[in-house]
Amino acid sequence: MVARVAGVFDEKLTEAIANSKILVVGAGGIGCEILKNLVLTGFPQIEIIDLDTIDVSNLNRQFLFHKEHVGKSKAQVAKDSALSFNPNVNIVAHHDSVISNDYGVSYFKQFNIVLNALDNRVARNHVNRMCLAANVPLIETGTAGYAGQVELIKKGVTQCYECQPKAPQKSFPGCTIRNTPSEPIHCIVWAKHLFNQLFGEEDPDQDVSPDTADPEAAGDAGSTALTSETSSGNVERKSTRAWAAETNYDPEKLFAKLFGDDIRYLLSMENLWKKRRPPTPLSWDSLPGKDNIEIQHSGLPDQRVWSVYECAQVFAASCKALQTDLKSRPEGDHLVWDKDEKSAMDFVTACANIRSHIFNIPLKSRFEIKSMAGNIIPAIATANAIVAGLAVLRAQALLKGEIEACTSVYLRPKVNHRGQLFVPEKTLTPPNPKCYVCSPKPEVALACNLKHLTLKDLNTAFKEGLNMQAPDATVEGKGLVVLSSEPGETDHNNEKTLEEIGLNDGCALLVDDFLQNYEVRVRLQQEDEEKTWRLVTDADSPMLGPKEEKTANGSSGSEPKPGPSRSKEDSDSDMEIIEEDDDGEPKPKPPKRRRTEMTDEVVELC
Amino acid sequence: MVENNDVELSEAEAEQYDRQIRLWGLESQKRLRASKVLIIGMSGLGAEIAKNIILSGVKSVCLLDSEKLKETDLYSQFLAPPDKIGENRTETSLQRARALNPMVDVTAETKGVDNLPDSYFAAFDIICATGLKQEQLERVNNICRDNNKKFLCGDVWGTFGYMFADLIDHEYSEEIVQHKAVKRGPDDNEANARETVSITVKRRAIYVPLQNALSVDWTKPELRSRLRRGDPSYFVMKILSRFRDEYNRNPDPAQRKTETEILLRMRDELVKELSLPAGFIKDALLTDVFGIVSGAAAVVGGVIAQEVVKASIARFPEAEDKLRMEMNVVSEVSDTRYRLAAETAEKAQLLTALLPAAQDAASYDLKEMLQRYKDVILLNEELLAGCHVRRATQEQTLTSLKNLHTILQQAARLRVGKYSKMVVNACRKAVSDNNTEALVKILQAGDT
Ligand SMILES: [Zn+2]
């Protein structure tokens, strides 16, 4: 099947399209649009991968899906819908994660072009590496609200997706979350951690109880607290989950501990409150808003800020619902927080707001908390359609051999001072020679304390920091395997420190990911102060370390689910858009200054 | 468009529109739900516009077209099933269009534009016209003007496209992102981090009708100096419109070679007529203008639909607290000043306004493919507004008391508290002092 109507394109492009094979990764907002354009244009062989299923909130833009498709595979439904536009093309749909051994370098090699329509960085990094390894051009797309961008990635010609270190996700120190929250987001992060402590996968880094090791509180940590309250005193030595289970998740008891006892404990850490307004413990029987329960509210409950009393009711109800859910699962299983799961979202809204009230922080509506807790990036049909259109036009240019014309292009939220809505780069952006992914000899340093970091931690560093899926590591020059992705080969060393397995300062590891066909030289750098690990690139730009509280539940959330799209954060974007500076627009002045100017002018005029 | 703004969104609506409500807010979504849109022309571009607008959740969309589905349509028209060639384009599109969003009332009109009375068009809030001749476009535009309805039009030929909007006198709010230094809490190590804050400002734009934009006198010296740096897209659009007017159809892909020759001939005529520089409109620009390429339709259809959405939801949020309002209105005024100052400095702004992608394109050798997205001609409303203001000040002069009265009214309406008084007093004082220059400035900023 060739491009459908002879004469629309010149012969060269018609021919190139007829012989092309295209991979689309992601069947979300941009993916649906790309697929439509490809199919209509007559691209004869298309494969599409997405592990996600259809949600109601997709329907405002993912137009290949309708209400009756909710819950079904995005890739499959997208294929079926798109075939109705042009039954003569061949589409293969994969309801699957692109990060899988099934899609290795040889799989990628069969395509002329790969188009990325993803919503998360982990999968974008992975496809970036696969395309570099397979030497297939990749067209990377993203939108965030009204804005968007399209970028070509071609090995050795342009920069790759990982050439520039991405801004780390906003993070908060643990003690802010546990002891001294001052913004709604701190309480929301705490509430999500609490969810995991009680119902989800327990993570010691997500402790929600008062942090007695808070450097600010040094000296008086809890010295006077709770010595008389033995029941609560015991709690500190038990896991929150075990204690909650013992009380049968009794909402009033949970409430009394979390919002009463724990707060009193914090109050006893007096240093914390010398310059801060101290929190006020709550008790179940005298909650604000209890007297106003008769008021009739109009509008959507999600949009309204609930009273503390209402929050407590929602807390109780959601605790019960979540406990029932947990009990119905096999022993040892746990829940995974999901913003689209009603009880899970109710629980976080209620807990975050109750804690906010305690710390004199403004309360938020469920709608607002969902945005922050779920890291929702707004998405609209038009921006996705425009970006997908640009991406397919770029693909056509590539097929014609006009690679120089395929510069990055940004869709702006509004026209800039030059009247441009689309701002293209003037030339292709060359690769960063120090990129630890696409440079000929990738290299990076890992700063850590070799006396404390275990082999297991090292494995995590490679997975989280270097975005590898199954790392293998050997000592350079010696060929000694220190970390193997084969189960059982090096597991016995998991708990040993790097020093104990014979690695020392300055020694270099060759770390390899077979699937990604990617090898990087990692130099170990001893730093006594480093509590976990930190990557240092040659450009000396500090990179993201592992263990801080992160607001974006993205790749650092409790359960990273890499794949073309993730049900937990539904967006088509992981892009960094610089709104104001991308074209030398004059920076807006602060409003205050403007007011003065205005006044001046009026005076001048008269 | 205010009829049922007070009715709350249903749970189902809130759920389906969640991701866009998070962008433009609940009130905007309610306003969108009141908007009645007419889309003229069910080619691939019409289908793209229809898809985006129906998904957004307007009140109703009417698809108007008397033409039959052709094979070339299948290249980009995804609402009509491929086996319905020969049937009316809009009727065959109806079923899929409705399935996009059952909450929107979608209807079809199979009469042509020429067979419908003015009153028919006046019943809509916003009209998007595609595939029409210039004369028809101007008629619909003028009906819209007479009835204070918003008008947009656009077309795609091959990979080339344009868009035009006439929202008449348009007030809207806009979010501006500002960078601000912040002092974090004592817990935070980055003591003076910078963070972005967004504020909402109120803006006003005065649009010109299509016929003005199409009849710009390019022989004027200040515009000619612009041509050397300019983008030829505007003229490519003129050539393609003329082709349509003359042959009553678009260039035919099946006769690619011979029709390209016709287009090049028409190009030469236009160049002569407007005394454009030789080689300004390169041959390559007229070789990829056959059929409608899906990707280009998606881009232009996306831009037009986005303008429809913006026009539907535009209104200054009244619930803003007063302090914020003061600052913003003041900043709006100083913005207007800034724009006008820039304009005076460089008079030929108009061409850039018509051809936004111009300057970059001129700075390096224009590549055919780059053209594909840049050729979307966006008539920059705000700069055109500036042009209109300038004309007004030149032609009508500035002594009209009626005008001044309007300004005072607007000043009073837009500004609150002491700033309101300050501006009004400034105007009064300017009059009493017979300060001509001051009056010009106030007129420019306030009224046309
Ligand atoms: Zn790179």
More confident site: A562 or B151? B151
Residues 168-197 of B with CB under 8 A from A: 174, 176-180, 185-188, 196
For A124-169, the DSSP string reads HHHHHHHHHHHT--EEEEEEETTEEEEEEE-TTTS--TTSSPPPPP
Predicted local distance difference test score (pLDDT) of residue A238? 66
> Which of B19, B359, B422 lies nearest to residue A599, judging by beta carbons?
B422
Q: What is the pLDDT of residues A224-254, one digit of tens each?
A: 444 434 444 434 456 788 888 888 999 999 9
Question: Does the distance separating the beta carbons of A415 and B294 come in below 8 Å?
Answer: no
CB A416 within 8 A of CB A583: yes
| Strand segments (E) across A313-396 | none
Predicted local distance difference test score (pLDDT) of residue A539? 52
> Which of A8, A59, A588 lies nearest to residue B290, judging by beta carbons?
A8
> Which of A41, A145, A381 lies nearest to residue B55, judging by beta carbons?
A381
Lowest mean pLDDT among A31-35, A553-557, A598-602, B226-230: A598-602
Residue A47, pLDDT > 90, answer: yes
pLDDT band at residue A214 under the 50/70/90 scheme: confident
Q: Which of A458-467, B34-43, B360-369 has the highest mean pLDDT?
A: B34-43
Residue A396, pLDDT > 80, answer: yes
Predicted local distance difference test score (pLDDT) of residue A601? 24
The tokens describing B91, both together, are: 């009727």
Judge whether B260 is closer than 8 Å to chain A, CB to CB: no
Give mean pLDDT, residues B289-299. Answer: 93
Give mean pLDDT, residues B320-326. Answer: 32
User: How far is B86 from B91, CA to CA, in rounded Å?
Assistant: 11
Residue B421, pLDDT > 80, answer: no
Rounded (5°) CA angle A298-A303-A306: 80
Amino acid identity at B121: F
State residue B178 phi and psi, 5-degree precision.
-125, 150
Side-chain half-sphere CA neighbours of B380 within 13 A: 24
Predicted local distance difference test score (pLDDT) of residue A536? 85
More confident site: A416 or A308? A308
In chain B, the residue whose alpha carbon lies closest to the alpha carbon of A42 is B75
Predicted local distance difference test score (pLDDT) of residue B94? 97
State residue A147 phi and psi, 5-degree precision.
-95, 160
Predicted local distance difference test score (pLDDT) of residue A209? 87
Predicted local distance difference test score (pLDDT) of residue B281? 87
Residue B182, pLDDT > 70, answer: no
Tally of CB atoms within 10 A around A119: 28
Q: What percentage of chain B reaches a pLDDT higher than 70?
A: 61
Give mean pLDDT, residues B408-435. Answer: 42
Predicted local distance difference test score (pLDDT) of residue B284? 85
**Torsion sign over Cα A110, A114, A116, A121:** positive
User: How far is A494 from B17, CA to CA, in rounded Å?
Assistant: 48
ipTM above 0.90, yes or no: no
Q: What's the whole-number average pLDDT of chain A? A: 83
Which residues face A138 on adjacent strands?
Answer: A114, A153
- Which residues from chain A sit within 8 angstroms of residue B383, using beta carbons? 419
Query: What SS3 state is found at A594?
Result: helix
Give which of A62, A300, A415 is closest to B20, Cα–Cα: A62
Predicted local distance difference test score (pLDDT) of residue B384? 36
Residues 354-413 of B with CB under 8 A from A: 355-357, 359-360, 363-364, 367-370, 372-374, 376, 378, 380, 382-383
Q: At what angle do helices B256-273 and B233-247 cross, to 10 degrees?
A: 110
Q: What percentage of chain A reaches a pLDDT higher than 70?
A: 82
Predicted local distance difference test score (pLDDT) of residue A531? 80
The tokens describing A184, both together, are: 């709604």
User: How far is A171 from B196, CA to CA, in rounded Å?
Assistant: 16
User: How far is A103 from B36, CA to CA, in rounded Å?
Assistant: 47
Predicted local distance difference test score (pLDDT) of residue A405? 87
CB B412 within 8 A of CB B424: yes
Residue A179, pLDDT > 50, answer: yes
Closest chain B C-alpha to A592 CA, distance in angstroms: 7
**Active site positions of A, annotated:** 175
- Which residues from chain A sit within 8 angstroms of residue B374, using beta carbons? 422, 424
Predicted local distance difference test score (pLDDT) of residue A316? 96
Predicted local distance difference test score (pLDDT) of residue A375? 87
- Which residues from chain A sit within 8 angstroms of residue B106, using beta carbons? none
Lowest mean pLDDT among A238-252, A307-321, A326-340, B108-122: A238-252
Q: What is the pTM of this model?
A: 0.79
Q: What is the pLDDT of residues B73-106, one digit of tens each?
A: 998 999 999 999 999 999 999 999 999 999 999 9
More confident site: B184 or A8? A8
pLDDT band at residue A85 under the 50/70/90 scheme: very high
Q: Which of A11-15, A562-566, B214-218 has the highest mean pLDDT?
A: A11-15
Q: What is the pLDDT of residues A454-505, one digit of tens each?
A: 999 999 999 988 989 999 999 998 888 999 998 888 999 999 999 999 998 9
Q: What's the whole-number average pLDDT of chain B? A: 71
State residue B40 phi and psi, 5-degree precision.
-100, 125
Distance A164 CA to ligand 1 centre (A): 7
Q: Which of A72-86, A528-542, A543-557 has the highest mean pLDDT?
A: A72-86
Report the length, in residues, of chain A. 606
Q: Which of A12-16, A47-51, A445-449 has the highest mean pLDDT?
A: A47-51
Closest chain A C-alpha to B275 CA, distance in angstroms: 25
Q: Which of A2, A5, A8 to mutate to test the interface with B (most CBs of B within 10 A)?
A: A8
User: How far is A234 from A239, CA to CA, in rounded Å?
Assistant: 10
Tally of CB atoms within 10 A around A324: 11
In the annotated binding site of A for Zn(2+), the residues are: 160, 163, 435, 438
Q: What is the pLDDT of residues B369-392, one digit of tens each?
A: 333 333 333 333 333 333 333 333
| Strand segments (E) across A481-600 | 481-483, 508-513, 518-526, 533-536, 549-550
**Taking the mean position of all CA atoms in its chain, how far away is CA A25?**
17
Predicted local distance difference test score (pLDDT) of residue A81? 97
Question: Does the distance separating the beta carbons of A40 and B78 come in below 8 Å?
Answer: yes
Residues 262-291 of B with CB under 8 A from A: 287-288, 290-291
> Which of A382, A391, A571 lies nearest to residue B302, judging by beta carbons?
A382
Residue A541, pLDDT > 50, answer: no
Predicted local distance difference test score (pLDDT) of residue B359? 26
Could you tell me if residue A563 is left (phi over 0), alpha (psi between -120 and 50 degrees) or otherwise beta?
left
Predicted local distance difference test score (pLDDT) of residue B225? 66
In the annotated binding site of A for ATP, the residues are: 26-31, 50, 58-61, 74, 119-124
pLDDT band at residue A173 under the 50/70/90 scheme: confident
Residue A69, pLDDT > 90, answer: yes
Residue A59, pLDDT > 70, answer: yes
pLDDT band at residue A65 under the 50/70/90 scheme: very high
Lowest mean pLDDT among A47-51, B107-111, B406-410: B406-410
Give mean pLDDT, residues A570-579. Answer: 42
* 3-state secondary structure string across A403-418: HHHCCCEEECCCCCCC
Query: What SS3 state is found at A13?
Result: helix
- Which residues from chain A sit within 8 angstroms of residue B15, using beta carbons? 56-57
Question: Does the distance separating the beta carbons of B56 and A389 come in below 8 Å?
Answer: no
